[in-house]
Amino acid sequence: MKALLLSPLLALSLLLSGCAHLDKGADPIVVRAEQSESVAKATFDTFLQIDNSNRAFFTTNAPPLHAFAEYLRAPVTIPSGGTNLSLPRGLSFVASLDSVKLAYQHGSATSNALATAIAVIEVSVSQAQAFIVQQHK
């Protein structure tokens, strides 16, 4: 089971660090944002599945892991198309990055804003990945 949980994560990590060439005309920062969105979804899903598998154990024996899982699960309200949308915090990070990416593509956000949004999501992804690896040692 450990190998099954790490395999998708490892595959996504290799995808991000690979030497793939960009399609002609592709904007590297947009491609990076899309990669970050995909990795974040997979990582958060895997991490939350680990915590869900035995919340009582993690609450008692790995409080930082469980606290981070609860942080990612906590509902957050974000603006979406003129209305407010309530999502778990982890998914709100992905939605926010997507929103900034779309704004960048339409010329209403800078590359610095998009790079900042990527960096924000990657901090949480790194933390979740560290907990995943820790649980599979």
Residue 38: inside a domain: yes
Q: Which residues contact 5 (CB under 8 A, 6 or more apart)?
A: 46, 49, 50, 132, 136
Give pLDDT tens digits for 64-115.
Answer: 999 999 999 999 998 877 889 899 999 999 999 999 999 999 999 999 999 9
Residue 23: inside a domain: no
- What's the pTM value of the predicted model, to 2 decimals? 0.81
Residue 54: inside a domain: yes
* Domain span holding position 55: 2-18+28-135
Give pLDDT tens digits for 3-43.
Answer: 444 444 444 454 444 445 667 778 999 999 999 999 999 99
Residue 35: inside a domain: yes
Residue 41: inside a domain: yes
What is the rounded (10 degree) CA torsion for 14, 17, 19, 24?
110
**What is the total count of domains within the chain?**
1
Query: What pLDDT does residue 15 have?
Result: 47
